[in-house]
Structure 1
């Protein structure tokens, strides 16, 4: 049942993501645009930046303009490997061993 809901939600999420676009005039690539390392930093500080962005209109969680794919990859690395995604979600402790007779 859970798999069916996930399978139904996936096309809807992809359709929603397809609607996202950015104005070409807003993106200007230059030597001072954020790259991979700033993407890593912005991904790492994402939780704090997101909370601040709720209360401060001049704080954003994503740098525009940026240099494209390398910034995105750095942002991903910052979130998944260094930031929020790096925390362990569960710790398993082995407290007893059950022995069965053969």
Structure 2
């Protein structure tokens, strides 16, 4: 890896860390108990996100994100569901032809 690329990656990571330090979640959004969605529900909700989002445009009863949830683990499952199962990483990994 060249030096400019390393500097850009380092700067991007530092910026992401700086911005994420400002993030917070209200206490009402985090819950505990057997009936509160956790990692596996987050994974499922992330996977069905595209269809849930389309449904939410037509029905106020459909939500794309469960609140309250367990917090970080639900968020991680949602992220994995959206990026991996939902096709996010698939579209980014296509090889581009060289011309």
- Do these two structures clear the TM 0.5 threshold for a shared fold by scoring above it? yes
Question: Which has more radius of gyration?
Answer: 1
Question: What's the TM-score once normalised by structure 2's chain length?
Answer: 0.61
Alignment CA distance shift 1:91-1:32 (3 Å)? same
Runs of 4+ in 1 over 4 A off after TM superposition: 17-23
TM-score (norm 1): 0.60
**Residues 44 and 81, structure 2, Cα contact 8 Å, conserved in 1:** yes
Contact 2:38 2:70 in 1 (8 A): yes
Gap runs ≥5 in structure 1: 1-16, 96-102
1:30 counterpart (11, 30, 33):
33
> Where does residue 50 of structure 2 map in the other structure?
47
Q: Structure 1's 48 and 34: CA in aligned 2 closer, same or farther, altered over 3 A?
A: same
Segments of structure 2 that go 5 or more residues without pairing to the other structure are 1-19
RMSD between aligned residues: 3.3
Q: Aligned pairs, how many?
A: 92
Q: Which has the higher helix share?
A: 2
